[in-house]
Structure 1
Amino acid sequence: MARAVPALQRAFDILELFLDEPELSAPEITGKLGLPRTTVHELLSTLVERGYLVPSGRGGARYRLGVRGFQLGSAYADRLDLAREGQLVAEEVAAECNETVHIGIREGTEVLYIAKVDSGHPVRMVSAVGRRLPAHCTAVGKALLASLPKRELDELYGSEALRAMTDNSITDLTSLRAELDSVAEHGRSREYCESNDAVACVAAPVHDHYGVVVAAMSIAVPILRWSDASEGELTGTVMRGAENLSERLGHRA
Structure 2
Amino acid sequence: MPRVVPAVIRALDILELFLDRPQLSAREVAERLDLPRTTVHELLVTLVARSYLISVPGQPVQYRLGMPLFQLGAAFAGRLDLVREAQGVARDVAAASDEAVHVAVLDGGDVVYLVKVDSTHPVRMVSGVGLRLPAHCTAVGKVLLSSLDPAGLDAVLAKGTLPGMTPNSITDPDDLRAQLEDVRAEGVAVDIGESDDAMRCVAAAIRDHSGATIAAMSLSAPIIRWTAQAQVEWVKLVREGAAALSARMGYPAQPQ
| TM-score, normalised via structure 1 length | 0.68
For residues 130-149 of structure 1, the aligned pairs below 5 Å read 130-149=130-149
- Report the Cα offset of residue 159 of structure 1: 4.7
Aligned counterparts of 2:106 and 2:205: Cα–Cα separation in 1: 11
Question: CA contact under 8 A between 1:134 and 1:141: conserved in structure 2?
Answer: yes
Stretches of structure 1 lacking an aligned partner (at least 5 in a row): 1-78
- Report the Cα offset of residue 151 of structure 1: 2.1
1:96: which partner in 2?
A: 96
1:248: which partner in 2?
A: 248
Aligned counterparts of 1:233 and 1:92: Cα–Cα separation in 2: 14
Q: State the one-letter code of the partner of 1:188.
A: V
Aligned counterparts of 2:144 and 2:198: Cα–Cα separation in 1: 23
Helix, strand or coil: the match of 1:101?
strand
Aligned counterparts of 2:219 and 2:251: Cα–Cα separation in 1: 22
For residues 112-191 of structure 1, the aligned pairs below 5 Å read 112-191=112-191
Question: CA contact under 8 A between 1:206 and 1:213: conserved in structure 2?
Answer: yes
Helix, strand or coil: the match of 1:190?
strand
Aligned counterparts of 2:190 and 2:174: Cα–Cα separation in 1: 17
- Report the Cα offset of residue 80 of structure 1: 6.2
Q: State the one-letter code of the partner of 2:166.
A: T
Helix, strand or coil: the match of 1:158?
coil
2:214: which partner in 1?
A: 214
Q: State the one-letter code of the partner of 1:119.
A: S
2:75: which partner in 1?
A: none
Q: Show CA shifts across 1:155-198 (max 9, x none).
A: 11115100000000000110000110010111110011000010
Q: State the one-letter code of the partner of 1:93.
A: V
Q: Show CA shifts across 1:23-77 (max 9, x none).
A: xxxxxxxxxxxxxxxxxxxxxxxxxxxxxxxxxxxxxxxxxxxxxxxxxxxxxxx
1:54: which partner in 2?
A: none
1:110: which partner in 2?
A: 110
| TM-score, normalised via structure 2 length | 0.67
Helix, strand or coil: the match of 2:190?
strand
Aligned counterparts of 1:139 and 1:99: Cα–Cα separation in 2: 15
Stretches of structure 2 lacking an aligned partner (at least 5 in a row): 1-78
Question: CA contact under 8 A between 1:188 and 1:204: conserved in structure 2?
Answer: yes
Let me know the Cα RMSD of the aligned residues: 1.0
Decide which moves more: 212-221 or 152-161: 152-161
Q: State the one-letter code of the partner of 1:141.
A: G
1:10: which partner in 2?
A: none
Question: CA contact under 8 A between 1:80 and 1:249: conserved in structure 2?
Answer: no
Aligned length: 175
Question: CA contact under 8 A between 1:159 and 1:173: conserved in structure 2?
Answer: no
- Report the Cα offset of residue 149 of structure 1: 1.4
Sequence identity percentage: 51
